[in-house]
Structure 1
């Protein structure tokens, strides 16, 4: 599929325009999106991505259209998995919920910039060295292996290299000043945690790009399709975060599904590398007659694996228990340590009470494990004690 320079510029301007629209009309003024707002805009961005894919199918042919949709679905699934890490980082920095939108939008913009750089690098390497497909395939197989042993929240550190460098180079504070990146403390200009959390997310975005770009190059080598599928998978991610926030912890099998998908694409890349082989020590530098996996089959496998993974996660009693425990822990922490607005605190406590009722309805084996988690039980008791103090203060006033 040939793409003119004019179409490239129109596409880039369109994506930049959507990001600016998102910032000006939704993020600039700090607020907590309602469920309806998040659902509406998530659906709109997905609709735009699907319409764009339909245009590629119509004007570029069915092969290009299939490649776009396979790439878009794969990148979207990887992005949802990345949201869990964003959630861990945002929670560890205790970002007020109203200010989380700005952090997420920064993460999306930085991720788009980082992935564009990797796309250009990957395309240049593919044009220069055919053996790069072996490397990409190996990266995906290693990543798939790592995903088969998923980490919990403690496995994701918010204190990455970029954060440590920022703390060392610039004076920082642990106190937020609205959504400002810098503030004045004791007469000195200091960096707020808002900027630090953006730095932390930026650092993780670079690692995410190392996995996602080889994956989409395994489905198509058309740079325009790679770029647009990646960009549209990131657009709307902010709204999706607030829409599925309560379900993120429930997708307990998502990592396994992604491991299967990345492993499958890794094998596809290696088969393609063998088919195009010119490495001297493999078959004397001659192409190896192997069967290649079509993009249509790839799309079917990707959709099938994701559907099975999501359905299995949603109906799993373990997933329901894990999701409820994680939500209760997060809401208790936000009530105690993050939010100061009385209305938001009351809303958080209401959610916490509802989740505690759900915990009581879980099978006994899960309730027993929860009772044995002293840190969680202590956190819940502190939340109730703090709410009682708030109530008494309200009565006194």
Structure 2
């Protein structure tokens, strides 16, 4: 199936479904309802699973599990994309009526861009085996950054591509319906809708820097790499309109994604010494996604958790805050156990990642202390945490 006929069947399915979705059902601009988005999400997921059955039939169980693992990883990473799309649409004041048009062209552009990056990544690994370790290190580092709460903020006004575009082309101050270009005073101008599209494309490019090494850690088969990635991308637009109103409920999903990235990064780094079966990788990815969704439903992030974030990189400040919290009689006993562990770790010379590593140093401290404080703060009233934190600041000032 991965030969010429496999590519032809895949291409025919993609072209037919895109023509049906975009050329028939989405021919005229309209607000996509929750029901419509849910139906199309189910269609795209069902299509991906049906394709995987074909992979199982023609290429065997290993390739089928590789496809499913790559698909799940890309889908989980896509949810982070959805958060960014919400920010972009809000920043450029794109109404719901025109958001499908932006995402349609964004996804079509992603099909081409992902092909170039995926096959480029495969060629890099083929020619330079050491790139495997670079990709693995990038994935581990990205996972740690997400766990440490150090993700880059989305700031469209600082996007260098958008800055360059605005210098090269005049942009109208307001939207002009669903048009990307309009003629003003005899001269063509871009509209904010086109600028939003460029922001979406550049954002996808940045996210691809994580997702592509992740799928390459699962398989090096070009057919499986590309098809699993594209099937996940094709359902992205419907997924956006289905989940856009409830994305905030999945508070722990990004942490599950972070652990998945770290896992596949480690898998890539140790591939030459320890071979992790694809069945284990699939179970880990599926299990982590399930746990993160269940945690989002049943666990709430302590409201005062953001208060402690500034102290996590400073061992002395963290130790003072732990001591002050433990000295407060309103802090329950079960929280004190986690605070003691946090205090011991903050003052410990042990480092999982040496601090002299300029990019990743201290990330292990932030991740471990974040986990300890998370469990400690769950039983402490929000007002107590903030009050003790203010007292700690005054005492150290």
1:304 Cα deviation from its structure 2 partner = 0.6
> Are 1:245 and 2:260 an aligned pair?
no
1:140 Cα deviation from its structure 2 partner = 0.6
Determine if contact 1:252/1:319 at 8 Å carries over to the other structure. no
- Other structure's SS at 2:270 match: helix
Q: Distance in 2 between matches of 1:134 and 1:36?
A: 44
1:3 Cα deviation from its structure 2 partner = 2.1
1:80 Cα deviation from its structure 2 partner = 1.4
Q: Distance in 1 between matches of 2:172 and 2:237?
A: 26
Structure 2 counterpart of 1:232? 231
1:318 Cα deviation from its structure 2 partner = 4.4
Structure 2 counterpart of 1:132? 131
Structure 1 counterpart of 2:14? 15
Q: Which has the higher helix share?
A: 1
TM-score by length of 1: 0.73
Structure 1 counterpart of 2:294? 311
Q: Distance in 1 between matches of 2:18 and 2:156?
A: 25
Q: Distance in 1 between matches of 2:150 and 2:182?
A: 35
TM-score by length of 2: 0.73
Q: Distance in 2 between matches of 1:301 and 1:49?
A: 20
Structure 1 counterpart of 2:200? 201
Structure 2 counterpart of 1:94? 93
Q: Distance in 2 between matches of 1:178 and 1:28?
A: 15
Determine if contact 1:114/1:209 at 8 Å carries over to the other structure. no
- Other structure's SS at 2:156 match: coil
Q: Distance in 2 between matches of 1:7 and 1:25?
A: 26
1:148 Cα deviation from its structure 2 partner = 1.5
Structure 1 counterpart of 2:173? 174
> Are 1:298 and 2:281 an aligned pair?
yes
Two-structure CA RMSD over aligned residues (Å): 2.3
1:158 Cα deviation from its structure 2 partner = 1.6
Q: Distance in 1 between matches of 2:250 and 2:149?
A: 12
Alpha carbons of structure 1 residues 38 and 174: separation in structure 2 relative to 1, 3 Å: same
Q: Distance in 2 between matches of 1:135 and 1:155?
A: 24
1:237 Cα deviation from its structure 2 partner = 1.1
Alpha carbons of structure 1 residues 365 and 33: separation in structure 2 relative to 1, 3 Å: farther
Q: Distance in 2 between matches of 1:104 and 1:63?
A: 33
Which moves more between the two structures, 234-243 or 223-232? 234-243
Correspondence for 1:157 among 155, 158, 161: 155
Unaligned runs of 5+ in 2: 304-380, 387-397
Structure 2 counterpart of 1:71? 70
